[in-house]
Amino acid sequence: MKLQLLSNHKNSPYPSFYNLDDVSRVTNITQFNCQYFLNILKYLPMKDWYTLRCVCKKWNHILKNPVFWDDVDLSSLYNQLYSKNLSYALFACNNTTRLTLKGCWRLVNDDLLTIATLCPHLAALNISNCWSISDPGIQHIASKCNRLKVLNMSFCNQVKGACFSNHQMNGLLKIDISYCKQIGNECLEQLLAKAPELQEIKFRRCIR
């Protein structure tokens, strides 16, 4: 039976590959060339990509293609992602600009240092509901991710705001500190002093 590839959605950011001349000779999915495989991968959930890495060296190499890793959402791994496997999860994120870790409650402060190191080009980071994160963790991001434009740290209620005292997020445009109830006015002043381009602050239930 001749294998058929899924056609691209018209708004897909990924390249299209419609040359099926040699598809009739394919008897196993591992025989697809790189272009065909890339076209298939984009229809799979990101959490399945890590399993596919273990199939063979060829697939592991293909999965490092930067086209897949500009906007990374790992929130579906909220109950599985922690210190021991974080580096593995970020294996191809050197050029990632947007990273979502919403609800990944097992992440701790040192994991944000790992993120800042492995994702040096971050422009947007969502760590909402990462309950174990406190000021030292945010400090890693604030001091190393100087390209950051958007930061969502809502519901990180252990953060008190000391992380803003010497931050390097000079280009920050938006920040969400909703339900970070221990952050007070003085800390916000420190944030604003070094973020002249800041346009939006969400601070729902910040009672201090």
pLDDT digits (tens, 9 = 90+) for 173-206: 999 999 999 998 999 999 999 999 999 999 888 7
User: 101-133: per-residue pLDDT in tens?
Assistant: 999 999 999 999 999 999 999 999 999 999 999
CB count, 10 Å around CB of 203? Answer: 17
User: Measured between alpha carbons, how far is residue 35 from residues 51, 57, 67, 199 in Å?
Assistant: 20, 16, 12, 41
Q: What is the DSSP letter of 70?
A: S
Largest Cα span, the chain: 68
Q: What's the Cα-to-Cα distance from 199 to each of 40, 125, 207, rounded to whole Å?
A: 39, 16, 21
Q: What is the pLDDT of residues 137-176, one digit of tens each?
A: 999 999 999 999 999 999 999 999 999 998 999 999 999 9
- Give the tokens for residue 165: 């005292």
Q: Is 113 helix (H, G, I), strand (E, B) or coil?
A: helix
pTM of the full predicted structure? 0.80
CA separation for the pair 178, 200 (Å, rounded): 12
Q: Could you give the domains of the chain? A: 1-67 (no CATH), 69-202 (3.80.10.10)
Residue 195, φ and ψ in degrees, nearest 5: -130, 70
Backbone phi, then psi, for 83, in 5-degree steps? Answer: -55, -40
Quick: pLDDT tens for 31-87: 666 667 767 777 778 778 888 888 888 778 878 888 778 999 999 899 999 999 999
Give the DSSP per-residue string, 133-198.
--HHHHHHHHHH-TT--EEE-TT-TT--SGGGTT---TT--EEE-TT-TT--HHHHHHHHHT-TT-
Contact 128, 102 (CB under 8 A): yes
